[in-house]
Amino acid sequence: MSAIINDFTINIATANGTGSQSANLILLQSLFEMGVPVSGKNLFPSNISGLPTWYIVRLSDKGYQAPGDRTHIQVLVNPATWDEDLAALEPGSVVIWNSDTKGKTVERDDIVSYPVPMSSLARKINPKIAKLVTNIVYVGVLAELLGIDQTCLESAVAKQFKGKATAIELNITALGLGRGFCNEELTKADPYAVEKRAVTKPQFFIEGNEAAALGAHYGGVQLLAWYPITPSSSLAEGVINYIPRLRTDDDGKANMAVIQAEDELAAAGMVLGAGWAGGRGMTATSGPGISLMQEFIGLAYFAEIPSVFWDVTRVGPSTGLPTRTQQSDIAMLYEGSHGDTQHIVLIPGTVEECFEYGWRAFDYAERFQTPVFGMSDLDLGMNRWACEGFTYPDQPMDRGKVVREQDVFDAFETFGRYLDVDGDGIPYRTLPGSGMAPILYRGTGHNPMGVYSEKPEDYFNLMQRLRMKIDRARDELPAPILREEEECEVGIVFLGSMENSIQEIDDILEETGLKVSQCRVRALPFHAEVEAFVRRHETVIVLEINRDGQLYGILRRELPNDLVTKVHSVAYSDGMPPRARIYAERILATLEEVKQ
Amino acid sequence: MSEKPARAIKLNVINEPKDSYTGGPSSLCPGCGHDQISSVIINAAWENGIEPHRIAKMSGIGCSSKTPAYYLGQSHGFNTVHGRMPSVTTGAYAINKDLLYLGVSGDGDSASIGIGQLIHAIRRNMDMVYVIENNGVYGLTKGQYSATADVGSKKKKGPANETQPIDLCALAINLGCTFVARSFSGSKKQLTSLLKAAMSHKGFALIDVISPCVTFNNNDESMRSYSYVKENEVTLHMADYIPHFNPVEEIEVPEGHFKDITLHDGSTIRLETISEEHDPGDAMAALTALHGAETGGKHVTGLLYFDATKPSLAEDLGLVDGALLDVPDEVLRPSQASLDALNAEFLA
DSSP string, B86-129: HHHHHHHHHH-TTSEEEEEEEHHIIIIITHHHHHHHHHTT-SEE
Q: Report d(CA A592, CA A221) in Å as an integer.
A: 49
Q: Which residues of B touch A434 (CB under 8 A)?
A: 53, 76
Contact A265 B333 (CB under 8 A): no
Q: Which residues of A touch B98 (CB under 8 A)?
A: 433
Q: Which of A392, A403, A431 to mutate to test the interface with B (most CBs of B within 10 A)?
A: A392
Contact A273 B96 (CB under 8 A): no
Q: What is the residue-averaged pLDDT of chain A? A: 96
The bridge status of strand A223-226 relative to strand A281-285 is parallel
Q: Does the pLDDT at position A123 exceed 60?
A: yes
Percent of chain B whose predicted confidence (pLDDT) is above 70: 83
What is the per-residue pLDDT across A4-54, written as a single tens digit (0 to 9) for each? 999 999 999 999 888 899 999 999 999 999 999 999 999 988 888 889 999
Q: Report d(CA B227, CA B230) in Å as an integer.
A: 5
Contact A533, A485 (CB under 8 A): no
Contact B271, B303 (CB under 8 A): yes
Whole-number Cα distances in Å, A373 to A233, A266, A340, A541:
16, 17, 17, 25
Q: Which of B100, B333, B338 to mutate to test the interface with A (most CBs of A within 10 A)?
A: B333
Q: Which residues of A touch B102 (CB under 8 A)?
A: none
Q: Report d(CA A333, CA A75) in Å as an integer.
A: 40
Any CB–CB contact under 8 A between A562 and chain B? no
What is the per-residue pLDDT across B147-204, written as a single tens digit (0 to 9) for each? 988 777 777 677 888 899 999 999 999 999 999 999 888 788 889 999 999 999 999 9
Beta bridge partners of B270: B240, B260
Contact A279 B320 (CB under 8 A): no
Q: What's the average model confidence in pLDDT over B109-116?
A: 96
Q: Which residues of B touch A222 (CB under 8 A)?
A: 94-95, 324, 327, 332
What is the per-residue pLDDT across B28-87, written as a single tens digit (0 to 9) for each? 887 788 998 999 999 999 999 999 999 999 999 999 999 999 999 999 999 999 999 999
Helix, strand, or coil (residue A387):
strand
Q: What is the Cβ-side half-sphere exposure of residue B78, based on CA atoms within 13 angstroms? A: 36
Q: Report d(CA A594, CA A585) in Å as an integer.
A: 14
Catalogue the long-range contacts made by A562-566 (C-beta closer than 8 Å, 24 or more residues apart). A563/A531, A563/A534, A563/A535, A566/A534, A566/A537, A566/A538, A566/A539, A566/A540
Q: Does the pLDDT at position B271 exceed 80?
A: no
Helix, strand, or coil (residue A217):
helix
Q: What's the average model confidence in pLDDT over B232-260?
A: 44
Contact B242, B251 (CB under 8 A): yes
Q: Report d(CA B124, CA B311) in Å as an integer.
A: 9
- Phi-psi group of B64: left, alpha or beta (phi > 0 → left; psi -120 to 50 → alpha; rest → beta): alpha
Q: How far is B221 from chain A (nearest CA, A)?
A: 35
Any CB–CB contact under 8 A between B277 and chain A? no
CA angle (A558, A472, A453) in 5-degree steps: 95
pLDDT of residue B218: 66
Contact B88, A273 (CB under 8 A): yes
Note which residues in 530-559 of chain A have CB less than 8 A from chain B: none
The ipTM estimated for the assembled molecules is: 0.94
Confidence of residue B254 (pLDDT cuts 50, 70, 90): very low
What is the per-residue pLDDT across A533-559, written as a single tens digit (0 to 9) for each? 999 999 999 999 999 999 999 999 999
Contact B208, B129 (CB under 8 A): no
Q: How far is residue A84 CA from its own chain's centroid?
A: 29
Q: What's the average model confidence in pLDDT over B240-257?
A: 37
Q: Which residues of B touch A299 (CB under 8 A)?
A: 80-81
Confidence of residue B234 (pLDDT cuts 50, 70, 90): low
Q: How far is A284 from chain B (nearest CA, A)?
A: 15
pLDDT of residue A391: 98
Any CB–CB contact under 8 A between A360 and chain B? no
Q: Does the pLDDT at position A177 exceed 70?
A: yes
Q: How far is A388 from chain B (nearest CA, A)?
A: 8
Output phi, psi for A240, to 5 deg: -60, -45
Q: Residue A146 contacts by C-beta under 8 Å, 6 or more apart in sequence?
A: A192, A193, A194
Residue type at position B204: F
Closest residue in chain A to residue B94, using alpha carbons only: A257
Q: How far is B348 from chain A (nearest CA, A)?
A: 8
Helix, strand, or coil (residue B237):
strand
Q: What is the residue-averaged pLDDT of chain B? A: 84
pLDDT of residue A543: 98
Q: Out of B96, B329, B332, whose CB is closest to A277?
A: B96
pLDDT of residue A481: 98
Contact A254 B318 (CB under 8 A): yes
Contact B318 A261 (CB under 8 A): no
Dump strand ranges (E) for B155-290. Answer: 179-184, 204-210, 233-235, 237-242, 258-262, 268-273
Output phi, psi for A531, to 5 deg: -60, -40
Output phi, psi for B111, to 5 deg: -95, -15
What is the per-residue pLDDT across B273-313, written as a single tens digit (0 to 9) for each? 334 578 889 999 999 988 887 787 777 888 999 998 999 99
Confidence of residue A129 (pLDDT cuts 50, 70, 90): confident
Confidence of residue B253 (pLDDT cuts 50, 70, 90): very low
Q: Which residue has the higher pLDDT, B277 or A198?
A: A198
Of residues B128, B101, B130, the one with CA closest to residue B115:
B130
Contact A274 B69 (CB under 8 A): no
CA angle (A130, A131, A132) in 5-degree steps: 90
pLDDT of residue B89: 98
pLDDT of residue B240: 54
Any CB–CB contact under 8 A between A21 and chain B? no
Q: Out of A295, A392, A443, whose CB is closest to B339?
A: A392
Confidence of residue B143 (pLDDT cuts 50, 70, 90): confident
Confidence of residue B268 (pLDDT cuts 50, 70, 90): very low
Contact B61, B84 (CB under 8 A): no
Q: Report d(CA B136, CA B117) in Å as an integer.
A: 19
pLDDT of residue B150: 77
Q: Which residues of A touch B333 (CB under 8 A)?
A: 218-220, 359, 393, 397
pLDDT of residue B305: 94
Q: Does the pLDDT at position A393 exceed 90?
A: yes
Whole-number Cα distances in Å, A154 to A24, A105, A121, A194:
14, 31, 19, 17
pLDDT of residue B29: 82
Any CB–CB contact under 8 A between B343 and chain A? yes
Handedness of CA B228, B234, B240, B241 (dihedral sign): negative
How many CB pairs below 8 Å do chains A and B form together? 209
Q: What's the average model confidence in pLDDT over A202-230?
A: 97
Q: Does the pLDDT at position B251 exceed 50?
A: no
Q: Does the pLDDT at position B247 exceed 90?
A: no
Q: Which residue has the higher pLDDT, B103 or A200?
A: B103
Closest residue in chain A to residue B114, using alpha carbons only: A266
Contact A534, A566 (CB under 8 A): yes
Q: Where are the alpha helices (DSSP H) in chain B?
A: 33-48, 63-66, 85-95, 107-108, 115-123, 168-174, 188-200, 226-232, 283-295, 313-317, 329-332, 336-347
Output phi, psi for A285, to 5 deg: -155, -170
Q: Which of A155, A159, A440 to mutate to test the interface with B (most CBs of B within 10 A)?
A: A440
Q: Report d(CA B72, CA B327) in Å as an integer.
A: 28
Task: Tell me which of A190-194, A492-496, A565-569, B223-227 is least confident.
Answer: B223-227
Q: Does the pLDDT at position B1 exceed 70?
A: no
Beta bridge partners of B101: B56
Note which residues in 72-101 of chain B have CB less than 8 A from chain A: 73-81, 84, 86-96, 98-99
Whole-number Cα distances in Å, B248 to A354, A459, B11, B241:
61, 53, 17, 11
Note which residues in 98-137 of chain B have CB less than 8 A from chain A: 98-99, 116-117, 119-120, 124
pLDDT of residue B7: 74
Contact A443 B95 (CB under 8 A): no
Any CB–CB contact under 8 A between B328 and chain A? no
Q: Out of B79, B334, B340, whose CB is closest to A441?
A: B79
Closest residue in chain B to residue A442, using alpha carbons only: B79
Closest residue in chain B to residue A205, using alpha carbons only: B346
pLDDT of residue A224: 98
